């Protein structure tokens, strides 16, 4: 069974890197690619992430570092633009597994979810609003932007997930590997400088 789980994780990692999928959809796609039934036990996210690191090391070692740097710089630009909403970067761009196909995910924390929409309108930014599951599984508003990244020469998806102001405390709990699941602008700047 462990061999099958590893095979699913490896296929999912390929989908993450080559298609920019998030882990959940990548695992489901891997099942289809391998011709496995939908109820097949899936690898956990740590297993998929380990395979993503391995895939990047083998197939993207010459390009991934520069792409990751460009995405982190682009994320930091948005974090500065939205400073009043206490932005935190998460996902592949934060964890270092992003490629040019990865989207940027920012968690924002504010008292009024509409205030972020108003700020984007005031800045002349087009966005699409939808509802997604938030940090604690509760529905939150997500504002999705197509943002041109000059360093990569293409549009990048930037997703702003609007959380209640006080939810920031739970957002910083360490993950299963003892890492912070997201970081503020200062932490992102340290990653860029490193």
For 134, how many CA atoms within 13 A lie in the half-sphere containing its CB? 21
pLDDT tens digit string along 56-94?
Answer: 999 999 999 999 999 999 999 999 999 999 999 999 999
Whether the per-residue pLDDT at 3 is higher than 90: the answer is no
pLDDT at 156: 96
Q: What is the pLDDT of residue 113?
A: 80
98: pLDDT confidence band, cut at 50, 70 and 90? very high
- Summarize the confidence of residues 33-62 as an average pLDDT: 93
pTM of the model: 0.90
User: Residue 48, class by beta-carbon neighbours within 10 Å (0-12 exposed, 13-18 middle, 19+ buried)?
Assistant: buried
Looking at per-residue confidence, does 137 or 6 come out higher?
6
pLDDT grade for 138, boundaries at 50, 70 and 90: confident
Q: How confident is the model at residue 1 (pLDDT cuts 50, 70, 90)?
A: low
Instruction: Round the average pLDDT of the chain to a whole number and report it.
Output: 92
The continuous run of DSSP H or E covering 55 comes out as helix 45-59
Look at residue 194 in the predicted model and tell me its pLDDT: 87
Q: Which helix (H) or strand (E) holds 161?
A: strand 154-164
């Amino acid at each position: 069974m462990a061999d099958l789980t590893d095979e699913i994780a490896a296929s999912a990692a390929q989908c993450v890197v080559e298609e920019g999928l998030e882990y959940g959809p990548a695992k489901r796609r891997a099942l289809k690619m391998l011709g496995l039934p939908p109820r097949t036990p899936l690898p956990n996210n740590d297993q998929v992430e380990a395979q993503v690191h391995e895939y990047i090391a083998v197939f993207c070692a010459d390009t991934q570092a520069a792409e990751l740097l460009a995405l982190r710089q682009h994320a930091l630009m948005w974090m500065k633009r939205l400073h009043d909403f206490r932005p935190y970067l998460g996902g592949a761009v934060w964890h270092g597994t992003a490629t040019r196909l990865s989207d940027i995910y920012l968690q924002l924390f504010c008292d009024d979810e509409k205030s972020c929409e108003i700020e984007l309108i005031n800045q002349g930014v087009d966005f699409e609003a939808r509802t997604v599951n938030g940090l604690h599984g509760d529905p939150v508003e997500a504002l999705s932007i197509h943002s041109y990244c000059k360093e990569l020469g293409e549009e990048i998806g930037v997703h702003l997930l609007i959380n209640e102001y006080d939810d920031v405390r739970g957002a910083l709990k360490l993950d299963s590997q003892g890492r912070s699941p997201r970081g503020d602008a200062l932490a992102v700047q340290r990653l860029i400088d490193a």
